[in-house]
Structure 1
């Protein structure tokens, strides 16, 4: 399987997603559309992973619009997509939903709560990394996947499409990259966590276990 990853900023890489790809002996290619303006061809993509980034899905950059065209083509060909943070917001817009300011800034570690049993074996609660201030509506025909204390719409699932507002993919080294490069973004977070709080938080194995379950599910759907 050819798994194409869209990475939008240097400090938000695939993390444990790459482990799943390698363990399953899939082929991985990483594209950087914000930097180079290049996207994979839909006919050369068996699965698409869309990572996060500091930009907004409501921005008018040509590459953001081109990325949504690719998402639409993937959906038309019934190919699986996992979107994370900005990636999930891009998916939501393609599916006709609105992306807007959430009026609460979530940056740091906090729990999300499972809202559907559509995928078997998922943990009912996960402590995940949040790094966002925008949110999406749940697209028509999709199911609410997760909520948090401060934000209702933390994830959605629709057939072989999964969008997550939060991050399950980071390893400790990825969190370190995010902190040293983007630490000013912690200001005014509702969680009031310091750089040290976020860096020293122990990442639960459940995060990557659940991430792998999502990837297995959409790959086989």
Structure 2
């Protein structure tokens, strides 16, 4: 399959996703929206992954073009996945309300998987989270699970053809290190679910364990 990434900032790249796709024999391209690259047409890809982005994203000329592409892809039969900010865009396109949460989640947090969901997720797993906004469950969608701070960590729609999640399963050590440097302002507001940069990076085994979860999600998603 040929996958296209929509990237909103230089420090929110595909990371481990690129390695996974290559190892499984898939090809991919990256559309760097932040550099004013033109979004692909639906005929240019077999599946679409909408990556995360900073807390504050200023509307650009590509914003409406991206929204139009998401709406067309959702109406098609092609798989589409959103992570972080990308998940919010998909939720909004499906009619859900996106709003600020009482507390932000920045760092590693336990997620309780939905045993009745469409994805083969563990009953409980640690995921790297970086978000302050939350969204409601769109009509016809199924929850993927919850954390202590967020009752909805993501959802599937149309039999898992569409996957939207706050979990940044693509995170690697270098990716998190750069993110924490670029978005240091997000960590200035303390809270029960805000970790320091050192806390995020002090256990390298977390990244390996999360990679196993990514593998399960990607296999479920692309089996269509």
Asked if TM exceeds 0.5, the reply is yes
Q: What is aligned with 1:73? A: 72
Query: Considering only aligned residues, what root-mean-square deviation do their CA atoms show, in Å?
Result: 1.8
**Residue range with higher mean Cα deviation, 150-159 or 205-214:** 205-214
CA deviation after TM superposition for structure 1 residue 119, in Å: 4.1
Give the 3-state SS of the residue equivalent to 1:141 in structure 2. Answer: coil
CA deviation after TM superposition for structure 1 residue 37, in Å: 4.3
- The answer (yes or no) to whether the contact 1:123–1:206 under 8 Å persists in 2 is no
Give the 3-state SS of the residue equivalent to 1:79 in structure 2. Answer: coil
Give the 3-state SS of the residue equivalent to 2:109 in structure 1. Answer: strand
Aligned pairs, how many?
A: 220
Out of 196, 199, 202, the residue aligned to residue 200 of structure 1 is 202
Q: What is aligned with 1:142? A: 141
Q: What is aligned with 1:213? A: 216
Give the 3-state SS of the residue equivalent to 1:118 in structure 2. Answer: coil
Q: Distance in 1 between matches of 2:182 and 2:119?
A: 37
Distance 1:163 1:56, change over 3 A: farther
Q: Structure 1: give runs of 5+ residues left out of the alignment.
A: none
Matched, 1:178 2:179: yes
Q: Distance in 2 between matches of 1:134 and 1:201?
A: 26
- The answer (yes or no) to whether the contact 1:56–1:86 under 8 Å persists in 2 is no
Matched, 1:94 2:83: no
Matched, 1:34 2:34: yes
Q: Distance in 1 between matches of 2:83 and 2:94?
A: 15
Runs (4+) of structure 1 moved beyond 4 Å? none
Distance 1:101 1:3, change over 3 A: same
TM-score by length of 1: 0.92
Q: Distance in 2 between matches of 1:164 and 1:146?
A: 9
CA deviation after TM superposition for structure 1 residue 146, in Å: 1.5
CA deviation after TM superposition for structure 1 residue 124, in Å: 1.2
**Residue range with higher mean Cα deviation, 120-129 or 74-83:** 120-129
- The answer (yes or no) to whether the contact 2:120–2:217 under 8 Å persists in 1 is no
- The answer (yes or no) to whether the contact 1:104–1:189 under 8 Å persists in 2 is no
- The answer (yes or no) to whether the contact 1:11–1:177 under 8 Å persists in 2 is yes
Distance 1:177 1:17, change over 3 A: same
- 1:43-192 paired onto structure 2 within 5 Å: 43-55=43-55, 60-119=59-118, 121-158=120-157, 159=159, 160-190=161-191, 191-192=193-194
Distance 1:96 1:87, change over 3 A: same
**Residue range with higher mean Cα deviation, 156-165 or 183-192:** 183-192
TM-score by length of 2: 0.91
CA deviation after TM superposition for structure 1 residue 33, in Å: 1.2
